[in-house]
């Protein structure tokens, strides 16, 4: 978890300290949670609202993990939109990938 937080902090610094004007010219890496039962109904566009709607229910930990992972993927896509290099964008994607694995493992162990 500490490594994920450090990776996100690094990504945030990259996003705020680098000037980028053009859209990135490399393929977008996949959202591996899309279509997975663990985060059913979550999208990059609705993850905040979906978490808010489910944050008081019995699966609050699962919803917290899903929202966090989707936030990382949103940050990755945002870095691409802002034109950051592939290696800079991959810092955030790697944090997403680790968070997605935590979500799917948690889902497998609890459902």
- Interval 62-89: pLDDT, tens: 999 999 999 999 999 999 999 999 999 9
Q: What percent of the chain clears pLDDT 90, i.e. is strictly above it?
A: 74
Higher pLDDT, 102 or 19: 102
According to the model, what pLDDT value does residue 18 have?
45
- Which pLDDT tens digit goes with each residue over 40-64? 999 999 999 999 999 998 899 999 9
d(CA 50, CA 2): 26
d(CA 80, CA 97): 16
Q: Which residues contact 20 (CB under 8 A, 6 or more apart)?
A: 82, 83, 84
Compute how many other C-beta atoms are within 10 angstroms of the C-beta atom of residue 85. Answer: 15
d(CA 99, CA 103): 6
DSSP reduced 3-state for 87: helix
According to the model, what pLDDT value does residue 105 have?
98
According to the model, what pLDDT value does residue 20 have?
42
According to the model, what pLDDT value does residue 57 have?
85
According to the model, what pLDDT value does residue 24 have?
59
According to the model, what pLDDT value does residue 96 have?
98
pLDDT at 1 over 60: no
């Amino acid at each position: 978890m500490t490594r994920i937080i450090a990776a996100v902090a690094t990504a945030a610094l990259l996003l705020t300290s680098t000037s980028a004007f053009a859209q990135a010219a490399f393929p977008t890496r996949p959202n591996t949670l899309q279509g997975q039962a663990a985060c059913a109904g979550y999208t990059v566009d609705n993850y905040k609202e979906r978490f808010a709607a489910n944050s008081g229910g019995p699966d609050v930990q699962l919803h917290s993990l899903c929202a966090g992972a989707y936030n990382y993927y949103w940050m990755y896509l945002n870095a691409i939109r802002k034109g950051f290099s592939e290696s800079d964008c991959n810092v955030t994607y790697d944090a997403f990938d680790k968070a997605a694995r935590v979500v799917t493992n948690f889902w497998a162990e609890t459902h």
